Amino acid sequence: MARAEPSVGVPVAWATPGEPVPVRLMNTIWADRGGVHDALSNRGQLGDWLRVVGLTATPVTVTKDDLVIGLRLRDALRRLAALLTEDDRPAAVSAIPDVSTAINEINTIASSTAGPRLQLRHGVLEQDTSPVGRPVPAALAAVASESIDLLTDTTAPLLRACHAPGCVLYFVKDHPRREWCSAACGNRARAARHYARHSGHTSATDPKLSRPTPR
């Protein structure tokens, strides 16, 4: 389902509106020449992210527990994305070390709020899928549920890791010729290949990028 993109100032790593929301959550781990960064390092940033991707219409109160759940979901998604894409990028790390734990995290979060309910409206039986409970846990449960679809349906084989120098992002390959998460990464990769051909270097990996500090 398409979501409107609010016109607000957000980190570049959040500005991947063409990607599914679970991929956008994965991409809150991002990198530049200064290293690898976490765009969800506090409760306010998680609240802003939920609003930017259209999961909450207004600012919300994010608790410490909400932030823990959001980060666990993000790390679980990155672990499973690495599995599906055979991602071995040194900087593309997840705080969740194994696939089984990642699967359990997503299942637990997805089932943490009530699912669809049946209701009678104007004499017609309808399905009510509106979130139940506090908005942040409900929104994260919705992301987890969407993640299950993303990782298991026809989209899963199209999930890619961006192998441009220094990038740690993921994307869904929506065009046969698409190789990178963004045009900027494509330009960087082509420049790195050109440099490697003319300098004799065999690797275009940026040595300045390293793993983020473990939480």
Predicted confidence at residue 11, as pLDDT, reads: 56
Amino acid at 25: L
Name the more confident of 125 and 122. Answer: 122
Predicted confidence at residue 206, as pLDDT, reads: 45
Predicted confidence at residue 8, as pLDDT, reads: 40
Mean pLDDT of the chain: 81
Mean pLDDT across 145-156: 91
pLDDT (tens digit, 9 = 90+) per residue, 51-97?
Answer: 999 998 888 999 999 999 999 999 999 999 999 999 988 777 789 98
Alpha-carbon distances, residue 193 vs 44, 130, 183, 196 (angstroms)? 39, 49, 15, 5
pLDDT band at 204 (very low <50, low <70, confident <90, very high): very low
- Kindly report the pTM of this predicted structure: 0.79
Name the more confident of 156 and 93. Answer: 156
Beta strand ranges found along the chain (DSSP E): 29-32, 35-38, 117-121, 124-128, 159-161, 170-172
Name the more confident of 201 and 128. Answer: 128
pLDDT (tens digit, 9 = 90+) per residue, 163-186?
Answer: 888 889 999 998 888 888 887 787
Quote the CA–CA distance of 94 and 212 in Å, as a whole number: 10
